[in-house]
Amino acid sequence: MNAKVHELLNQQINKEFYSAYLYLDFANYFEEAGLDGFANWYKIQAQEERDHALLFYQYLQNENRKVTLEAIAKPDKVFTCHMDVLQAGLEHEKYVTSLIHDIYGAAYEVRDFRTMQFLDWFVKEQGEEETNANDLITKLELFGSDPKSLYMLNQELAARVYTAPSLVL
């Protein structure tokens, strides 16, 4: 495996764990606001991000590459409204998409087809993540100003359950 590709994959482990921390911070915001359904949605997002980190970790292990774990930064955003949280989530997903594309591009440059195939799932996953984040923003724009509708949206998000990724390494 090319050294640059290895470095980027290793960095992505930390980025995914940071994403989990960030989404737990979002869940904290919504718990404090009394929106346990929104909090549930972000707790599940945190679980997904943690599992993404472990997929990168396992991929490097399977490739007999050293994994170096770094410190995970503390989320530092302060939110003043629900929409700020959702928009920060969308922006973060776009950022993660750019990171995946950077790794894919580096693998493509050195014809690392195995890594490219591994990343194909993440490329698709990021498309879904951005769509979900956009949809949540749209729903809050439509229903967030009406307490009854916000309650129903909160109930919808409370029903979300975690499903582990089915990526075969």
Q: Give the closest residue to 88 by CA, choosing from 154, 45, 137, 16.
A: 137
Does 166 reside within a domain? no
Residue 7 reports pLDDT greater than 90: yes
Residues 25-52: pLDDT tens digits? Answer: 999 999 999 999 999 999 999 999 999 9
How many Å apart are CA 98 and CA 135, to the nearest integer? 20
Long-range contacts (CB closer than 8 Å, 24 or more residues apart) made by 87-90? 87/137, 88/26, 89/23, 89/26, 89/42, 89/45, 89/133, 89/136, 90/130, 90/133, 90/134, 90/137
Percent of the chain with pLDDT over 90: 89
For residue 143, what pLDDT is reported?
Answer: 87
Does 163 reside within a domain? no
Domain that holds residue 94: 3-158
Does 35 reside within a domain? yes
Does 76 reside within a domain? yes
The CATH number of whichever domain residue 137 belongs to comes to 1.20.1260.10
The pTM assigned to this predicted structure is 0.92
Does 168 reside within a domain? no
Quote the number of domains for the chain. Answer: 1
Q: How confident is the model at residue 168 (pLDDT cuts 50, 70, 90)?
A: low
